[in-house]
Amino acid sequence: MEQKTNSNLRLGMTFMASIFFIFGFITNFNIAMKDQVQLAFDLKTLYPGWENFFAQLVNGVFFFAYFCFSFVCGMIIKKIGYKNGVIAGLLLVATGSYLFFPAVSVLSYPLFLGAIFVMATGVVFLQTAANPYVAALGPQEFAPARLNLTQALNGVGTTIAPYLAGILVLAPAVLALKNGASAQQAADFVKMPFIIIGSIVVVIAIGILFIKLPEIKGDETVASMSALRKPQVLLGAIGIFCYVGAEVGTASQVSNYLTGLLDMAKDEAVKLTAIYWGGQMIGRFFGSVLLGTLTKDLKYKYSLIIMVFAFFVGWFIFSAGVVDGKFIFNSQPVYGLIFFTIAIINFLLMMLGRGIANVSLGIFGATNMLLVLAGFLLPPQFGMWCLLSVGFFNSIMFPNIFSLAVNDLDPSEMPIASGIINTMIVGGSVVPLVMGAITDSVSIKAALLVPIICFGYITFFALKGSKIR
């Protein structure tokens, strides 16, 4: 019986890991489209002086869907179950993906944003179902480790997405414009990736329909709406608002920072944002190892493997690229060593947290405050490395905030609590828009003050707000 239970748990975790990869890839592919959208829809001409604000609507509309539907999705999932909720989410993602084709064909920015909103609604279903399912799929004390593992797979998707967007979409579009192509012709490079995404997602939804997943049942006598009376849930929801806002806002600002202050080409800047997301992926792998149940020897062994992996990630991202439509690899191992060094620092600070979720979160929140402040104060040549390093210390934030927020809840309370928490992912809409407006009206560096405030709140939540009352 115990063997069957363990087999079901492994099946559930495997299934959820794939879902986390999918919505991580989709989310970041949309984020990376900001610069492509500015070119394709010529926002500089349409909205002179406000092109950064309107380009950030790509992120704004995507994350606004969380505000509109997360709570509703939580109630729907409570009625139809996690599995059906995931299938519904995948089908909505596919529908939104296919809508990009007519939007780009007629070069309609409102229709383009509408397609993003539909796709985002699907991601809301996936996110609302996936996080509480993983948290409830085993002992509560190891929920942060499980969430970090699935979020690490999410990190793989978020790392690959901007890299592919830079190489397969933005680089050829820029080249086409240089060769005299129209905005319409340059925009056509957006179509095919989303058609492929939509088709893959439909196939996965059909496959999931025939998979038997373990059920998560709670105490039927506990009122699901009682989650609203738990302070850690509400304070954690604000923490998620600040985290996702700071995460997306900083990532979006990296591109402006590199192009505006270091005069870097747009496609190269988008590609380098993969370093930001790659650091987040590496940090989540560390979190899944160090916050789990492994022996000390195995933790060190796997951590060393992750550090070596970090070296190759940094080396590849900086060395590979597309020039005049051709893939090139200009080996630059020194950047792999820099990435490796940051990974070691990330490991040491995580060890300082002693595997305690709120302590580790507090250390990383304070670290990111200092890194963004350094990006604000230091010359851009050094500041860029501080901003790119933020991803490493974002790594455990979402899974740790979420697991601390739902700590001490009954499984029957989880869907509603997840809906409340995921509603506040709207921070990914609000914070980047505020930063875009500050960038347009003040300066690129001034906008960095916003994520500093966000990381400050996360530090407070970790050390004080997450305590069970």
Quote the DSSP letter at residue 331. Answer: -
Please name the helix (run of DSSP H) or strand (run of DSSP E) that holds residue 328, with its range, or none: strand 326-329
CA dist 74 and 89 (Å) reads 12
Angle between helical axes of 231-261 and 266-290 (0-180°, round to 10): 150
Q: What is the mean pLDDT of each run of 10 residues along the chain (469 residues)?
A: 54 72 74 63 70 74 81 80 83 88 79 87 82 68 68 70 67 66 65 81 82 61 60 88 91 84 76 79 82 80 90 79 58 83 91 83 94 92 89 87 80 75 84 88 90 95 80
CA dist 93 and 76 (Å) reads 17
C-alpha dist (Å) from residue 23 to 153, 158, 361, 422: 10, 9, 23, 14
**Quick check: pTM over 0.75?**
no
- Is the backbone of residue 42 left (phi > 0), alpha (psi -120 to 50) or beta? left
C-alpha dist (Å) from residue 394 to 161, 372, 389: 17, 12, 9
Domain 2-465 has CATH 2.60.120.20: no
> From the CA atom positions of the chain, what is the Rg in Å?
21
The domains of the chain are located at: 2-465
The separation between CA 222 and the C-alpha centre of its own chain, rounded to angstroms, equals: 32
For the chain, the first-to-last Cα distance in angstroms comes to: 37
Contact 255, 35 (CB under 8 A): yes
If one counts every other C-beta atom within 10 angstroms of the C-beta of residue 379, the result is 9
Least Cα distance to 340 among 389, 303, 307 occurs for 307
Residue 459: beta bridge partners?
A: none
Question: What is the amino acid identity at position 65?
Answer: A
Contact 421, 466 (CB under 8 A): no
CA dist 195 and 188 (Å) reads 12
Contact 155, 161 (CB under 8 A): no
Contact 271, 166 (CB under 8 A): yes
Please name the helix (run of DSSP H) or strand (run of DSSP E) that holds residue 163, with its range, or none: helix 143-164
Contact 284, 399 (CB under 8 A): yes
Quote the DSSP letter at residue 129. Answer: H
Contact 338, 317 (CB under 8 A): no
Residue with tokens 């505000």: 67
pLDDT at 377: 92
CA dist 346 and 303 (Å) reads 11
DSSP 291-308: TSS--HHHHHHHHHHHHH
